[in-house]
Structure 1
Amino acid sequence: MKSEIIHPPPGSPGAESSADTVVTELFLVHRLALVRLAFLLVGDQETAEDVVQDAFAAVYRRWSRLADRGQVLPYLRTAVVNGCRMVLRRRTIIGRFRGHREVPFWSAEAAALLGETRRQVFLSVRTLPRRQREVLVLRFYLDLSEAEIAQVMGVSRGTVKSTASRALKALAAKLQEER
C-alpha cells in the first residue's frame, strides 16, 4: 500500500511548522511496515523499533534541510536499511570478542507477526548474505520496484536484478534441502 503525504513545498508559509504534522502522519502510516522491515533484517523486535525510531528522529531533526520533502518515505526506508546494517556490523564486531551469540528473536509478538508457516522461510532468508537478504525483503515484503530498491540500497538496477536472482536460487536450494 503506497500512500502519499501532502505537505507544503519548502519555503512556503507553514512549511516549517508542518514538520510536526507530516512526521507524525508518516509515523502513524508507515511505522509498522518499517518496523517489520527492520525486524526481517536484524531479527529482533526491540532493535527493529529502535532503528525505526532513530530514522524518524533523523527526519524530524533534518526537516528544514530536506531538499525534496516528497521523497521522505524513500529516505526513511534508506535510513532504516542503513541503521540495520550498522546494527549487524556492531553485532559482528562484538561477536568477534565475545564469541558469536544468536539474538533471541522469537518473542510471542514476533511469532504472531510472522506466523509459524513463514518461520522456515524467515530462517532461510536470514542465512543469505546481507545484500541478498535486503533485496528480497525490499522486493517481496515492501513490494518495491527494482528502481526503488536500487535507490534505497544505493546500487544500480542491474545489481538489484542479479542479486535478487542469486538470492532466489540460493533460497530455493536451501528450502529444498530442508524438505
Structure 2
Amino acid sequence: MTELFLAHRLDLVRLAFLLAGDQETAEDVVQDAFAAVYRRWSRLAEREKVLPYLRAAVINGCRMVHRRRSVARRFRGDREVPFWSAEAAVLLGESRREVFLAVRALPRRQREALVLRYYLDLSEAEIAEVMGVSRGTVKSTASRALRALAATLQEER
C-alpha cells in the first residue's frame, strides 16, 4: 500500500485538482480514496485493479464535492469563492490558467473525459472503466468537450 501511495499520490492529487479546482480539496479527496482502499486491503483479490479503482474513487469524490458546493450555493447565494492560492498559481503557471479555466467551465462528464485522456493519458477503454460508461460515450463526450473548449479559447483570443 505504501508503494502504491508513493507512486501514484501526486498524479491522483493533480487529477483531483483539475476536477475540483483547489488543492486542499484535491488532497482530501485523494486521501479519502487511499483510506478506503486501505480499509479493504486485506479483502482485495485483484490488487492489479487497485489503481483504476483509486482513479474512479477520486473522480467520484470530486463529483461529491461539486454536489455539496451546488447545494451550498443554493443556500448562501451564488458567490464564487476565490480558489487561486499561491501554490495553485505556481502549479498552473500563467500560460495554463486560461486553459484550466476553460476546462473547468465544461460540464462535469466532459471535463472528466478530457482530464483522464489528456492528463493521465488513459485509453478509451480505461476511461470508460473509470467513468462507468461505454467506449462510445467516451468518444462522443471527448469530441464534444474538445469542440466546446476550442470555441471557448477562440473567443478569448
| TM superposition score normalised by structure 2 | 0.97
Where has structure 1 moved over 6 Å in runs of 4 or more?
none
Shift of 1:103: 3.2
Matched residue SS, 2:36: helix
Shift of 1:101: 2.7
How many aligned positions are there? 157
Shift of 1:68: 1.0
Corresponding residue for residue 57 of structure 2 = 79
CA distance in 2, matches of 1:169, 1:162: 11
Task: Tell me, yes or no, if structure 1 residue 119 matches structure 2 residue 97.
Answer: yes
CA distance in 2, matches of 1:102, 1:158: 34
Question: For residue 81 of structure 1, what is the amino acid of its counterpart?
Answer: I
Percent identity between the two aligned chains: 84
Structure with higher Rg: it is 1
Corresponding residue for residue 6 of structure 1 = none
Alignment of 1:7-26 (within 5 A): 23-26=1-4
Corresponding residue for residue 40 of structure 1 = 18
Q: Which one of the candidate residues 101, 114, 122 is aligned to 1:144? A: 122
Question: For residue 47 of structure 1, what is the amino acid of its counterpart?
Answer: T
Q: Which one of the candidate residues 113, 131, 141 is aligned to 1:163? A: 141
Q: Which one of the candidate residues 35, 45, 66 is aligned to 1:67? A: 45
CA contact (8 A) 1:44 1:104 kept: no
Corresponding residue for residue 68 of structure 2 = 90
Give 1 or 2: higher helix fraction: 2
CA distance in 1, matches of 2:57, 2:132: 11
Corresponding residue for residue 12 of structure 1 = none
Corresponding residue for residue 131 of structure 2 = 153
Question: For residue 9 of structure 2, what is the amino acid of its counterpart?
Answer: R
Consecutive unaligned residues of structure 1, counting only runs of 5 or more, are 1-22
Corresponding residue for residue 175 of structure 1 = 153
Q: Which one of the candidate residues 88, 107, 110 is aligned to 1:132? A: 110
RMSD, aligned CA:
0.8
Shift of 1:173: 0.3
Question: For residue 160 of structure 1, what is the amino acid of its counterpart?
Answer: V
Q: Which moved more, 1:64-73 or 1:142-151?
A: 64-73
CA distance in 1, matches of 2:81, 2:134: 32
CA distance in 1, matches of 2:74, 2:102: 23
